[in-house]
């Protein structure tokens, strides 16, 4: 790993506490000068080769994108991380480098899929792990009569624009209705900041509830701090840049790179102040068939982020409120979806905000239940500053 003074990591005597987190990453940290701290926003991304020890095929991509490919594998084969890695890996990230038979098979499969796509589909990524595996270790070979003769429930995420569908209601109408339903332009403009407390639950909290704090400032600043058993897990979007610092991440501080990470961070921040929704994305599109979420009909609008991220927003037909967003992150092995569900809308200074947020992606699910939101409180600018690298304290 090169130590060019451009790394995003600071070494401020935290090294010793990081050892338990990621021995594989530690070597990188120690070599970094503290002066590098200021350069965060312009740093080069940490690449697979800089950080991991035994990656033979999935090279040349940023660490975060590599982790998304791991989530893609887990989703495609219906396996946890330890399905292809040793059990110790969860405590000690360097063990993810160990070889196990399934990992070798997976590597051979990556090569197989790549060559079929090249030879048979002109290099287009038509075949992925999901095409064959569909959530099973060994793909089925016999047609299922049960599937043939029953109608599977519709997956709202799978709904796409149908050519020739009437473009009514228009994107403008749906977004207008959302703004009205959220409280109307005037009340929305009067809400300029809020702070929230509640609980957070996910794989990184062993599926128990821990306290969470959220700080939000219009138009697009948002910080969430989940106080996990292993230390704080912090996600910051400061309006121009974003970072994730969590004890369960491969690196203690990960900048949101241009593309899906940045676009997602920005969208989540903007949605804290629904009046700004039109500015959050561009290239709005409708033409999706109506579908349902929890038996309630929803209209879908698609938008695109500055980094070309495709986002689908699902609005409850009756209430007009946003019930789901699905955004897509492209990786060399396939498109990875992230879904965020919003429920339990309550009144905050005349504005409807969701008190229950569930984030679902291929690597896990986080469940955030707010207990209180305080509108229009002053928030120290430091809350939106680049967070310190995560402080891992494995127990
Ligand atoms: C279907 C099998 C499979 C699953 C499931 C899987 N991985 Fe992997 N993992 C691999 C393969 C294959 C490689 C090596 C890739 C290569 O050589 O290009 C790898 C490599 C890694 C590495 C790099 C380690 C190093 O230093 O070389 C990490 C870290 C990792 N995986 C983490 C995870 C995590 C976290 C999960 C769960 C979200 C996961 N993996 C799920 C197959 C899998
Ligand atoms: C063209 C269909 C196809 C695609 C695409 C495919 N696989 Fe497979 N995969 C199979 C078949 C068939 C088997 C079972 C082989 C056997 O049992 O001998 C298998 C087995 C595996 C196994 C071993 C499972 C076990 O029994 O322990 C792993 C791991 C695996 N695949 C990973 C992947 C990954 C990762 C991808 C995407 C990069 C992928 N596969 C894409 C067809 C496919």
Tell which one of 74, 108, 139 to mutate to probe ligand 2, the residue whose CB is within 8 A of the most ligand atoms: 139
Q: Note the ligand closest to the C-alpha atom of 70.
A: 1
Q: What's the CA-to-centroid distance between 156 and ligand 2, angstroms?
A: 27
pLDDT attached to residue 392: 64
pLDDT attached to residue 10: 28
Q: Relative to the CA of 137, which ligand 2 atom is closest? A: 24
Task: For residue 43, name the pLDDT band (cuts at 50, 70, 90).
Answer: low
Q: Relative to the CA of 74, which ligand 1 atom is closest? A: 5
Q: What's the chain's average pLDDT?
A: 88
CB 228 within 8 A of CB 205: yes
Q: Note the ligand closest to the C-alpha atom of 110.
A: 2
Q: Note the ligand closest to the C-alpha atom of 89.
A: 1
- Cβ of 125 below 6 Å from ligand 2: no
pLDDT attached to residue 22: 31
- Cβ of 88 below 6 Å from ligand 2: no
- Cβ of 105 below 6 Å from ligand 1: no
Cβ burial of 307 (10 Å; 0-12, 13-18, 19+) is middle
Comparing CA positions, the residue from 27, 122, 111, 11 lying closest to residue 389 is 11
pLDDT attached to residue 90: 84
Calculate mean pLDDT across residues 133-148: 96
Q: Note the ligand closest to the C-alpha atom of 66.
A: 1
CB 229 within 8 A of CB 206: yes
- Cβ of 177 below 6 Å from ligand 1: no
Cβ burial of 155 (10 Å; 0-12, 13-18, 19+) is exposed
Tell which one of 132, 140, 332 to mutate to probe ligand 2, the residue whose CB is within 8 A of the most ligand atoms: 132
Most confident of 11-25, 27-41, 203-217: 203-217
- Min mean pLDDT across 7-11, 184-188, 244-248, 310-314 is at 7-11
Q: What's the CA-to-centroid distance between 73 and ligand 1, angstroms?
A: 8
CB 298 within 8 A of CB 156: yes
- Cβ of 100 below 6 Å from ligand 1: no
d(CA 278, CA 281): 6
**Maximal C-alpha separation, the chain:** 65
Q: What's the CA-to-centroid distance between 134 and ligand 2, angstroms?
A: 10
- Min mean pLDDT across 146-155, 187-196, 343-352, 372-381 is at 146-155
- Cβ of 132 below 6 Å from ligand 1: no
Nearest CA to ligand 1 atom 11: 103
């Amino acid at each position: 790993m090169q130590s060019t003074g451009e790394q995003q990591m600071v070494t401020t005597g935290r090294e010793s506490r990081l050892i338990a987190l990621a021995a594989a990453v530690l070597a990188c940290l120690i070599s970094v000068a503290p002066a590098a701290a200021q350069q965060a926003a312009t740093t080069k991304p940490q690449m697979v080769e800089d950080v991991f020890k035994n990656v033979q095929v999935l090279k040349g991509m940023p660490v975060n994108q590599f982790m998304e490919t791991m989530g893609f594998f887990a989703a495609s084969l219906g396996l946890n991380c330890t399905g292809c890695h040793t059990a110790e890996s969860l405590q000690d990230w360097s063990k993810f480098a160990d070889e196990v038979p399934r990992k070798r098979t997976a590597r051979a499969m990556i090569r197989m899929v790549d060559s079929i796509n090249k030879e048979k589909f002109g290099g287009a990524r038509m075949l992925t792990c999901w095409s064959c595996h569909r959530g099973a270790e060994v793909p089925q070979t016999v047609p299922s009569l049960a599937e043939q003769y029953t109608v599977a429930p519709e997956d709202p995420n799978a709904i796409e624009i149908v050519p020739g569908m009437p473009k009514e209601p228009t994107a403008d109408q749906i977004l207008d209705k959302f703004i009205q339903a959220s409280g109307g332009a005037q009340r929305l403009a009067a809400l300029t900041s809020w702070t929230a407390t509640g609980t957070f639950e996910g794989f990184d909290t062993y599926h128990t509830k821990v306290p969470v704090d959220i700080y939000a400032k219009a138009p697009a600043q948002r910080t969430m701090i989940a106080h996990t058993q292993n230390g704080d897990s912090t996600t910051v979007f400061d309006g121009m840049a974003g970072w994730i610092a969590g004890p369960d991440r491969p690196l203690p501080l990960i900048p949101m790179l241009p593309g899906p990470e940045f676009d997602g961070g920005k969208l989540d921040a903007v949605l804290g102040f629904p009046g700004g929704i039109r500015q959050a994305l561009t290239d709005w599109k409708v033409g999706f068939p109506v579908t349902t979420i929890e038996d309630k009909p929803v209209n879908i609008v698609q938008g695109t982020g500055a980094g070309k991220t495709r986002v689908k927003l699902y609005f409850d037909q009756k209430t007009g409120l946003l019930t789901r967003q699905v955004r897509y992150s492209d990786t060399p092995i396939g498109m990875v979806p992230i879904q965020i569900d919003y429920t339990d809308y309550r009144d905050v200074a005349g504005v409807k905000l969701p008190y229950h947020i569930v984030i679902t992606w291929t690597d896990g699910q986080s469940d955030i239940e707010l207990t209180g939101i305080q509108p229009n409180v002053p928030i120290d600018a430091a809350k939106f500053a680049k967070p310190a690298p995560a402080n891992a304290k494995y127990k």
